[in-house]
Amino acid sequence: MLNSLRVVCSARALVRTSRVSAAGPGHSLSTWLCSTDTRAPVKDRGLSYHTNPPHSQRNFCTRQVELNCWKCQQPRGKAPSFFCMSCEAVQPPEEGMSYFEIMACDHTFTVDAQKLQRRYLQLQRALHPDNFCQKSVTEQEFSESQSSLVNKAYTTLLKPLSRGLYMIIDMHLEEPDELPPPMFQLELQGMRIEEGTDSGADSEFLLELMEINEALDEARTPEEANKIGQDTKGKLADLTERIDAALRKAELQTARALLSQMKYHANIAEKVKEKLREFM
């Protein structure tokens, strides 16, 4: 019982909190060469404090009490609060923040990619460690953590496969007494769905994929490859709608099987691009 509880807590921590102490290449203290603080005031950074709209499926923020700024002890403001509303000091990442809330997105499988990118650039311009080279060590560390977290949230939500898997696992863990299956725990860490290991890949579906791959290998003109690419694009669009519908209904196993199919078709789409490059 104790081991099960530990696994659940560990899985929840991976999904719901992202405490990162390093921002990766280019973000180390030794590479900070700037000499001035180029940040705009909080009110000019465009960092609106997002709350889920009424039609959103869930309310992600589990915070019951408003947090105070680590520096001035004043209320940080509505979640997610990247900067203090009073002293403008960068804040540490908040526990319980969903990637959707961090990126100001509705909790749906269909996201506005352009809006997501704008939010990402907006946050990174404000939170990038280069802006804090003359600040305290604490603020430098918090900026690294926030910047890295925003990057992970963006890359996860940008790609349909990782976005869908993130939603499935996050929804699966909503049942406090339910232990995620081992495969879900592995996917949670790697954000992946392995081909050939899922129940959604039945023999008829695999035969269809084999025929598509053979047709692509035998394509002798760009037009033939483009035809396969357009067909695949249509199938991906249809899968997107079906996955979104399944997630809205909390039909997690159905959504997972459809995500697996999407991965196969996404691979074909990449092969089409490679084939077209051969004709250039």
Is residue 22 a contact partner of residue 143, using CB atoms and an 8 Å limit? no
Least Cα distance to 103 among 52, 173, 40, 162 occurs for 52
- What integer is the mean pLDDT of 249-261? 90
- What b/e readout covers 243-268, taking b as 16+ CB neighbours within 10 angstroms? bbebbeeeebebbbbbbbbbbbbbeb
Burial class (CB in 10 A: 0-12, 13-18, 19+), 125: middle
- What b/e readout covers 54-82, taking b as 16+ CB neighbours within 10 angstroms? eeeeeebbeeeeeeebbbeeeebbebbbb
Delimit the CATH 1.20.1280.20 region(s) of the chain.
193-278
Check pLDDT > 70 for residue 58: no
Q: What are phi and psi of 104, to 5 degrees?
A: 55, 45
Please state, rounded to an integer, the average pLDDT across all residues of the chain: 76
Cα–Cα dist 91/88, whole Å: 9
- What integer is the mean pLDDT of 239-252? 93
pTM of the model: 0.69
CATH number of 193-278: 1.20.1280.20
| Span 151-196, pLDDT tens digits | 999 999 999 999 999 998 878 665 544 444 444 444 544 445 554 4
CATH 1.10.300.10 assigned to 21-108+119-153: no
Of the candidate ranges 4-13, 42-51, 66-75, the one whose mean pLDDT is the lowest? 4-13
Delimit the CATH 1.10.287.110 region(s) of the chain.
21-108+119-153
